[in-house]
Structure 1
Amino acid sequence: MKELSVAIGVSRPTLSRYFQDPDSVRRSTSERIRRELEKIEYVPNFFATRMNRKTTGLIGVIIPYLNDLFFTNLLQAIESAAMEAGFTVIMQCSHSDPQIEARAAETFMSMSMDGALVVPLGNQSDIKTHERLNARLPYVLVDSRPNTMPDVDFVGTDHPRSTRLITEYLCRVGESPILLGMPRVNFNALERERAYIAVMESLGHEPVVIGTDLVEEGWYFESHGEAVLDAAFARGRFTDRSILCVNDRVAIGALRAASRHGLVPGRGASGGLRIAGHDDYPLCPYTTPALTTVAQDVEKIGRAAVSRLVRKMQGKAEGTSPEIELFDGVLKLRESA
């Protein structure tokens, strides 16, 4: 600051006020400082300029997977809303590892983030790490709300209602669906499984759940869905059934298994096979056939999460009970069902 003020020819307090708010100094002085800074291509140190402020202007976000376009879209919605609110987003990925998730949380605390948004790993998450994070920073859970964290604000989808929506639809257009689930490590998948069972029983149908056992270590989503149905189709099972997949990535694997066995899911296809998913993964309209699913409103979820977090950071959150905001899913009818 001293060197800059001498080089520009203004006092250090004036230069300091300019960096805090260019409008706080005379217009002619502000323009002079701006021109001189451009000449030397000055770039302020982001962290140094915030060391003496009450706020860093940073929001930390933890997501579980980098290779999932659902989380890419969610992060985009969060970042857009955060920028509009005047904050910068720092993202960390937990890579579906509780230890990495814990390290990311510790990093956010060490950086004095103003707040954090976390998509947890379900009940695998280290509850002690989340308790420390909750004690140190305003923080909100997004997309998944594990049983171990009932006292934390949450923004996500109403999975029981969205699961009912797609299950009832499949029951209307054909034989009642079976559920292609996944190993019980994903909290949202488990919540949808329970919802499916409840809906089927309420409609007088017998729920049938497959695919909850681990096929192979490291196989997740697409590989899991493909392997489970490949084995079933090879034995002649479920080739004429409606199959509700616990999420769209599992459903994409299921579509591949159907193709391998010469099966064409869809309302217009012979044989009765239908395949549907949940989430409206961005590639769903471009699969063959295009995948019927339930869309989560990712844009609203991301913006609502940022809005809630900002209110907490500003001390405007009301009440002591956790605030839960759930959004309805929207049925997306396409060729596969």
Structure 2
Amino acid sequence: MPKGSGAGGERPRLRTMEELSVAIGVSRPTLSRYFQDPDSVSRSSRERIARGLERVEYVPNFFATRMNRKSTGMIGVIIPYLNDLFFTKLQQSIEFAAMEAGFTVIVQCSHTTPEVEARAVETLISMNVDGAIVAPLGDNSDIAAMERLNRRLPFVLVDSRPGALSHVDYIGTEHSQSMGLMTEYLARVGDPPVFLAMPRVNFNALNHERAYLEKMEELGLEPQVVGTEEIEPGAHYEAHGELALGREFAEGRLTDRSIICVNDRVAIGALRAAARFGLDPGARRKGGLRIAGHDDYPLCPFLVPSLTTVGQDVDAIGQAAVARLMKKIRAENSLTDHAVTLFPGVLKLRESA
């Protein structure tokens, strides 16, 4: 009796295509063509294979069915963080668009480390994916690894674009517009806003700080930037926001000012600092403290107070990245035009500002 069969009526479990070929009486090459494209075999063979698969338990090897094909039907994605809901949402958008195009997504994470990012690049190349979408570490990325990827595969950058990769197709948010939008809003409804920064290692954080400074100069206002240095080792994002703003509040500073945070995760920490000092940020509350962010992190509407921020059109970014990659794959990476697509940010007014 074949392994896996029994008195309970279990179907025999087959592990190889050779075993399946013998069990249902169809040649292995015919089975291989069937699993790659059922329409590539005759109708009688399709029907025979379909009937045979109902009698056995067999799952074709995902990678084996893609060997010796012009297209593997896979695209690779590299993201910098697994614990950031912004990138979770971006990954979801890419996966939905890729599935609609008939592709499977293979995800790697660089874990904010250039060496890991470079290894992820080599992994995608070795898997012979049809193309790649990468959210890089910015200027901390291994540029040599990215250049290898660009030579070997159709390749699109999302979220940030290192200066050394300005020749690579890029899909993202128009950060100068989006941060300028928030800066202008806060300047209009209260005192000139203060910028709560991060240690200057994050690529988009630097872009946001630069956009704030440019807008303040345009408005004829004096900029003020705090939180640029690391306060405690390993205190990033939310922890940094709480520590940096808590230090200001402890000295009696910024308790009645508008504060624009470099991103929503830092703003979450800033809100916690306000709560610790008994402050109640918001346009309709006592005092002048307002706290705002950037990105429209999925948790923003559910914070207390809910966070005013600038929304990035993550769905549009993911869809546009896949669409551009599909165009490059179909052209076998021979496109000469250089695509840069930037989506504007949208102000999301909530309770905190």
Q: Same fold (TM over 0.5)?
A: yes
Structure 1 residue runs of 4+, over 4 Å off?
A: 316-319
Q: Does 1:131 align with 2:147?
A: yes
**Structure 2 CA distance for partners of 1:319 and 1:312, relative to 1, 3 Å:** closer
C-alpha contact (below 8 Å) 2:169/2:340 kept by paired residues? yes
C-alpha contact (below 8 Å) 1:151/1:321 kept by paired residues? no
SS at match of 1:117: strand
Structure 1 unaligned blocks of 5 or more: none
TM-score by length of 2: 0.92
Q: Give 1:75-94 correspondences, 5 Å limit.
A: 75-94=91-110
Selected match of 1:301 from 308, 317, 321: 317
Q: What letter corresponds to residue 258 of structure 2 in structure 1?
A: S
Deviation, structure 1 residue 148: 2.1
Farther-moved stretch of structure 1 (288-297 vs 166-175): 166-175
Paired residues, what number?
337
Q: Does 1:72 align with 2:88?
A: yes
Paired position in structure 2 for 1:244: 260
C-alpha contact (below 8 Å) 2:154/2:333 kept by paired residues? no
Paired position in structure 2 for 1:208: 224
Paired position in structure 2 for 1:193: 209
% same residue: 68
Paired position in structure 1 for 2:174: 158
TM-score by length of 1: 0.96
Q: What letter corresponds to residue 311 of structure 2 in structure 1?
A: A
Q: Give per-residue Cα distances to partners, 1:278-327, cap 9 Å, x unaligned.
A: 00000000111000000000000001001111111111778535310000
**Structure 2 CA distance for partners of 1:267 and 1:128, relative to 1, 3 Å:** same
Paired position in structure 2 for 1:336: 352
Q: What letter corresponds to residue 190 of structure 1 in structure 2?
A: L
Deviation, structure 1 residue 22: 1.9
C-alpha contact (below 8 Å) 1:65/1:94 kept by paired residues? yes
Distance 2:328 2:89 in 1: 24
C-alpha contact (below 8 Å) 2:154/2:328 kept by paired residues? yes
Paired position in structure 2 for 1:267: 283
Q: What letter corresponds to residue 195 of structure 1 in structure 2?
A: A
Q: Does 1:179 align with 2:180?
A: no
Structure 2 unaligned blocks of 5 or more: 1-16
C-alpha contact (below 8 Å) 2:153/2:333 kept by paired residues? no
Q: Does 1:19 align with 2:38?
A: no
Q: Does 1:230 align with 2:251?
A: no
**Structure 2 CA distance for partners of 1:93 and 1:20, relative to 1, 3 Å:** closer
Distance 1:55 1:286 in 2: 43
Q: Give per-residue Cα distances to partners, 1:76-133, cap 9 Å, x unaligned.
A: 0000001111111111111101100011001111111111111111111111111111
Selected match of 2:326 from 310, 315, 320: 310
SS at match of 1:132: helix
Distance 1:251 1:49 in 2: 48
Paired position in structure 1 for 2:270: 254
Q: Note the aligned Cα RMSD (angstroms).
A: 1.5
SS at match of 2:229: coil
Q: What letter corresponds to residue 325 of structure 1 in structure 2?
A: T
Deviation, structure 1 residue 38: 2.9
